[in-house]
Chain A
Amino acid sequence: MILDETHDCRDAFAEELVRLARADDRIVAVCNDSVGSSKLGSFAAEFPDRLVNVGIAEQDMVGIGAGLANAGLVPFVCGAATFLTARALEQIKADVAYSLANVKLCGMSPGLAYGALGPTHHSTEDLSWLRAIADLPVIVPADPAQTRAAIRWAAETDGPVFLRIGRFPVPDVSPPGGPAFTYGRAVRLREGVDATIVATGTMVSRAMQAAALLEERGVQARVVNVSTVAPLDREEIMAAARQTGAVVTAEEAVPTGGLGAAVAEVVLETRPVPMRLLGTRAFAPTGETGFLLEYFGLTADGIARTALEVLGLDHS
Chain B
Amino acid sequence: MTLTPTAHELLLPDHDAIAGWRRLRERLARADRDAAATALATLSGEIRRTVISTITAAGLGHAGGDLSVTDILTTLYGAVLRVDPADPGWPDRDRFVLSKGHCSVALYTTLATCGFFSADRLSTFAAPLSPLNGHPSRRAVPGVETSTGPLGHGLPVGVGIAVGLRLRGSAARTVVVLGDGELQEGSNWEAAMTAGHRGLASLTAVIDRNGLQQGARTSDTNDLEPLADKWRAFGWEAVEVDGHDHLALLDAVTAPHGSGRPRCVIARTVKGRGVSFMEDRVEWHHKVPDAEQARTALEELR
Residues of A participating in the B interface, judged by any CB pair closer than 8 Å: 28, 49-50, 52, 54-55, 57, 59-73, 75, 90-91, 94-95, 98-101, 134-135, 137, 157, 159, 183-184, 231
Contact = CB atoms under 8 A, between A and B. Distances in A.
A159 B1 contact: yes
A71 B167 contact: yes
A124 to B, nearest CB: 25
Interface of B: 1-4, 91, 95, 137-139, 145-150, 152-153, 155-165, 167-168, 170, 186-187, 190-191, 193-194
Contacts of A90: 150, 153
B149 A183 contact: no
A60 B194 contact: yes
B137 to A, nearest CB: 7
A28 B160 CA distance: 11
A95 B97 CA distance: 12
Nearest to B160: A67
A91 B156 contact: yes
Contacts of A94: 147-150, 153
B4 A64 contact: no
A70 B160 contact: yes
Nearest to A56: B190
B159 A63 contact: yes
A198 B298 CA distance: 63
B160 A71 contact: yes
Given A64-B159, A94-B149, 15 more contacts: A54-B190, A54-B194, A57-B190, A60-B156, A64-B156, A65-B160, A67-B160, A68-B167, A70-B95, A70-B157, A70-B160, A71-B164, A99-B137, A134-B4, A159-B3
Given A59-B190, A95-B147, A183 B157 contact: no
Contact of B159 (A60, A72, A75): A60
A72 B95 contact: no
Interface hub of B91, B147, B149, B157 (most chain A Cβ within 10 A): B157
Contacts of B191: 60, 63-64
B161 A68 contact: yes
Contact of A157 (B1, B156, B160, B162): B1
B176 to A, nearest CB: 10
B160 A68 contact: yes
Contact of B193 (A57, A63, A69, A134): A57
